[in-house]
Structure 1
Amino acid sequence: MTLLAPPSGLPLPRVLGGLLGLVLAAALVEALVLWHRGRYDWRALATTLGDLVLRRAAGFTGLSLATPLFSWAWVHRLTTLDLSTGGQWVGLFLLSEAAYYGFHRASHRVRWFWASHAVHHSSPQLTLAAALRLGWLGKLSGSTVFFVPLVWLGFAPAAVLGVLSLNLLYQFWLHAEWLPRLGPLEWVLNTPSHHRVHHACNPRYVDHNYGGVLIVFDRLFGTFQAEQADEAPRYGLAGRPRIDNPIRLALSEWQHLGRDLWAAPGWRQRLAVLVGPPAG
């Protein structure tokens, strides 16, 4: 996951949204440098930019499950945490990291959520630009549910969104494949090396390293995998053909899901398709 679109499809605070130009500039500079070195996929960049335009356009529709869910949680909150102490800020950060870990793991292991998240993993090359490839149907997936408990506990929606946005902003630089390992920081933080593993489609690497800023929840819950010197990561969606049309790309996994639901013989089997792991 990356900058520009929270997993729930919630709008970013305007101040962070204003960083779009800087993010695009950084991605373009990297593109030019890698192109000069003879290894940049311009078709992938075009697909990502098309996806970005469509996502921005979809945002103008206002369609999202985020607003009603957050509003309900705020009205029924247990208390009000005004973030007047450092302990509350630390609590919000750690809880948001845990919520993000839960969301991200579900996005890979629950097919309903994967249908949207797969777009982010579809790029055949890991670059800063690939961080912006998020799909434009995510607002309707309902992934907001993973962050609703934070509002219900008493953190204001704006605070939850602010911390989540910083989490996503942090992840942008993780998509620079050329960055080296970071020594002792690898034990605590999510790093480019850990994120290369996360994006890889190698069987050895698939479904690991779901953290946002931290990698500690992966270490705690057994989903951590270190990058191995004897196996370079490969990128893209295993078992799926490359799609460069951003409209077809966003709809592709939903179409596969719909066909499997139609073919399922009963309601139990259909439920298993929806909440089970992705096919393939």
Structure 2
Amino acid sequence: MDPLHAPFDPVALAVPFFVLTIILEIALTRFKAVKSHYETKDTMASLGMGLGSNVAGLLTGGAAFAVTVWVWNHRAFDIPMTAIWAWVALFFLEDLTYYWFHRLSHERRFWWAAHVNHHSSQHYNLSTALRQTWTGVLAGTWALWLPLAFLGFPPAMLAIQKGISLVYQFWIHTEAIKRMPRWFEAVFNTPSHHRVHHARNPRYLDSNYAGILIIWDRMFGTFQPELDEEAPRYGIVENLTSFNLLRVAFHEWAGIAKDLAGSRSLREVIGYLFGPPGWSPDGSRDTSATLKAQWDAQQAAKKTDLAA
């Protein structure tokens, strides 16, 4: 097997499945056979973002691949693509890498700017999974996978496993499936877990960063179960009012540029770039942490009122 060129692309192979299941979910929704919500403009925006992401990848992905190959050429070990143990090890290591990539993409504004478009839909259905970034390569988060290349995992293996992860995550973007069996919910990322991740309810913010395995969230304290008494409300804290693809793709980058133009110190520059989304020098804007704190205070006040 060629260590530099994957013999197949999991995502490309799955595209017909993506299209057919989206059509099926829409049809079942129309007949009220499943719970789901589709809006034509929103769905078209998601499909447009998916197409644009593929184009952006073709234009910018070569540089990331070249760096990955260079790192692999200076690898510490030789890991054979034909060894089963290597694929098992890569499954866990790649999924752990994805967890930290995903967490970083939510907790630091520079990388959130490249990821926020995926959360910009106020609906949650299979088409939402296709609402992918146009600027991910430029944001540089692909560098988090370079240590795996340095260890000796061939670039082709990395490409296949990353593709498998992306294909897996497609089916969890749905409201049609309420819960999987308890053992499955305990180990794997599921529609229930990922609905929480896409919710803008203060209780649910910044949680469930899993790719395939939810165990990382359980290990690192970011797991939040979906609660029957609180249905997820989807989108971002300040929802977009436009389906314009350029606005969907670049609105947070434009916000960063505006804030940087008004910065008055190096501290403000660093804060606007690498602080949590919503950071401001005077604390006048809400971050996930402040929204959660406000929600906690409201819940405590309600309990006090009930006790009185």
Q: Of 39, 52, 55, which aligns to 2:53?
A: 55
Q: Contact conserved, 2:208 with 2:224, CA < 8 A, in 1?
A: yes
Is 1:278 matched with 2:273? no
Tell me: CA distance 1:94–1:60, structure 2 relative to 1, closer, same or farther (3 Å). closer
Tell me, in whole angstroms, the C-alpha distance in 1 between the residues paired with 2:53 and 2:136.
9
Tell me: CA distance 1:261–1:179, structure 2 relative to 1, closer, same or farther (3 Å). same
Cα displacement (A) at 1:133:
0.3
Tell me, in whole angstroms, the C-alpha distance in 1 between the residues paired with 2:8 and 2:120.
27
Is 1:22 matched with 2:17? yes
Aligned AA for 2:98?
A: Y
> In the alignment, what sits opposite 2:195?
196
Cα displacement (A) at 1:240:
3.2
Higher relative contact order (CA 8 A, sep 6+): 1
Tell me: CA distance 1:242–1:181, structure 2 relative to 1, closer, same or farther (3 Å). same
| Superposition map of 1:73-152 within 5 A | 73-152=71-150
Cα displacement (A) at 1:28:
1.9
Tell me: CA distance 1:15–1:190, structure 2 relative to 1, closer, same or farther (3 Å). closer
Aligned AA for 2:18?
A: V
Is 1:226 matched with 2:225? yes
Q: 1:133-192 CA deviation, whole Å, 9 max, x = no partner? A: 013222211011111110010000110111111111111100011202112211111111
Stretches of structure 1 lacking an aligned partner (at least 5 in a row): 1-10
Cα displacement (A) at 1:39:
4.0
Stretches of structure 2 lacking an aligned partner (at least 5 in a row): 1-5, 279-285, 287-308
Cα displacement (A) at 1:128:
0.4
| Superposition map of 1:204-219 within 5 A | 204-219=203-218
TM-score (normalizing by structure 2): 0.82
Where 1:235 maps in the other structure, the secondary structure is: coil
> In the alignment, what sits opposite 1:251?
250
Cα displacement (A) at 1:19:
2.3
Tell me: CA distance 1:202–1:139, structure 2 relative to 1, closer, same or farther (3 Å). same
TM-score (normalizing by structure 1): 0.90
Aligned AA for 1:58?
A: A
Tell me, in whole angstroms, the C-alpha distance in 2 between the residues paired with 1:12 and 1:60.
18
Choose 1 or 2 for highest CA Rg.
2
Tell me: CA distance 1:12–1:198, structure 2 relative to 1, closer, same or farther (3 Å). farther
> In the alignment, what sits opposite 1:7?
none
Tell me: CA distance 1:218–1:45, structure 2 relative to 1, closer, same or farther (3 Å). same
Cα displacement (A) at 1:88:
2.2
Q: From the two aligned structures, give the one with the greater helix fraction.
A: 2
